[in-house]
């Protein structure tokens, strides 16, 4: 009833904890049995350890939040050596490895190492993070660059590759098509939108980085529109992401073309958000006369 599939990976349900909001799973294991999740997209990982941006790097908004964390992580060797084995002790399903880099060869090396890990089921190629001042932004905003890094990673990865796209572009469909033509097995959209806040007392930006990525309820309609447009143009599966906080959001996103859905900021507001959504999905499906979630994928496009 809740089962879905993304790039050959069968999920018990479509709910994936989004990268950057679920760490490596350890922070949530005491709130509920995280094995209820369809999967987990682990914290974005780079070749070398990163401390991240200066603080403050979080700012609240009316319908969401801004973050400029800056990909803080222990580096891929530490993730494969320590974090993934520790996660395997508490989570028995394959996970999604979110791969980041500042040059094509860095993406390739991180993906090569990650794809060898036994409990990694998918590589999520993060070409869209707006918080890093180096190459991360440009890869996701230029179709040729997006295609180049996609093809390079796909050529060495032992696992399916899904590309996480930036919404900070004029035409996200053109970039999605370029990634598909370069060999991507799937797409994930959207990542955060660029935004900022000012402190009215200091008259300065709230974030030390000045700008950050906007996420939360306010971005849902934008994500939905981009998923719908991309699903019309591409044939590879889509993981929807952006402002999902209820079971009804999940159903709406799947109707627009998503085969699975990532839940991000909602986890930071309510640590049991993913569990609550999964448990309420059957009730919403019954109300809407939906027998199987797989049957509604892309139904709005037909």
CB 56 within 8 A of CB 207: yes
Residue whose token pair is 């990982």: 45
Number of Cβ atoms within 10 Å of the Cβ of 204: 11
Spatial CA neighbour of 166 closest among 241, 96, 220: 241
Tokens for 164? 């996480």
Cα–Cα dist 173/158, whole Å: 27
- Residues 6 or more apart whose CB falls under 8 angstroms from that of 175 comprise 140, 141, 142, 143, 146, 165, 166, 169
Where are the extended beta strands (E) located within the chain?
4-6, 9-11, 15-17, 39-40, 58-61, 64-67, 95-99, 120-126, 161-164, 186-189, 193-195, 198-199, 204-205, 212-215, 238-241, 260-263
Length of the chain: 302
Q: Is 20 left (phi over 0), alpha (psi -120 to 50) or beta?
A: left
Tell me the sheet residues that pair with 162. Answer: 124, 186
Residues 6+ apart with CB under 8 A from 213: 66, 67, 68, 129, 130, 131, 191, 192, 193, 194, 195
Enzyme catalytic residues: 129
| 153 membership: H or E segment, kind and range | helix 143-156
Cis peptide leading into 213, omega within 30 of 0?
A: no
């Amino acid at each position: 009833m809740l089962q879905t599939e993304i790039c050959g990976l069968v999920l018990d349900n479509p709910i994936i904890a989004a990268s950057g909001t679920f760490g490596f799973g350890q922070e949530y294991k005491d709130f509920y049995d995280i094995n209820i999740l369809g999967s987990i997209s682990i914290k974005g990982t780079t070749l070398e350890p990163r401390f991240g941006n200066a603080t403050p790097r979080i700012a609240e908004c009316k319908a969401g939040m801004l973050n400029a964390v800056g990909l803080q992580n222990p580096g891929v060797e530490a993730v494969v050596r320590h974090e993934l084995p520790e996660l395997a002790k508490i989570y028995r399903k394959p996970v999604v490895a979110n791969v980041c880099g500042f040059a094509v060869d860095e993406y390739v090396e991180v993906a090569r190492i990650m794809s060898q890990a036994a409990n990694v089921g998918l590589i999520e190629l993060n070409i869209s993070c707006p918080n890093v001042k180096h190459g991360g932004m440009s890869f996701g905003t230029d179709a040729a660059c997006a295609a180049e890094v996609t093809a390079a990673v796909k050529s060495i990865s032992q696992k399916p590759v899904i590309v996480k796209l930036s919404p900070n572009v004029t035409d996200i469909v053109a970039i999605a098509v370029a990634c598909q033509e370069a060999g991507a097995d799937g797409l994930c959209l959207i990542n955060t939108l660029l935004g900022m806040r000012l402190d009215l007392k200091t008259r300065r930006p709230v974030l030390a980085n000045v700008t950050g990525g906007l996420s939360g309820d306010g971005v849902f309609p934008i994500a939905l529109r981009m998923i719908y447009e991309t699903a019309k143009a591409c044939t590879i599966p889509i993981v929807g992401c952006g402002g999902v906080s209820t079971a009804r959001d999940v159903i709406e996103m799947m109707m627009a073309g998503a085969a699975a859905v990532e839940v991000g900021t909602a986890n930071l507001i309510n640590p049991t958000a993913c569990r609550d959504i999964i448990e309420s999905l059957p009730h919403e499906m019954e109300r809407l006369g939906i027998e199987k979630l797989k049957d509604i994928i892309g139904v709005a496009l037909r």
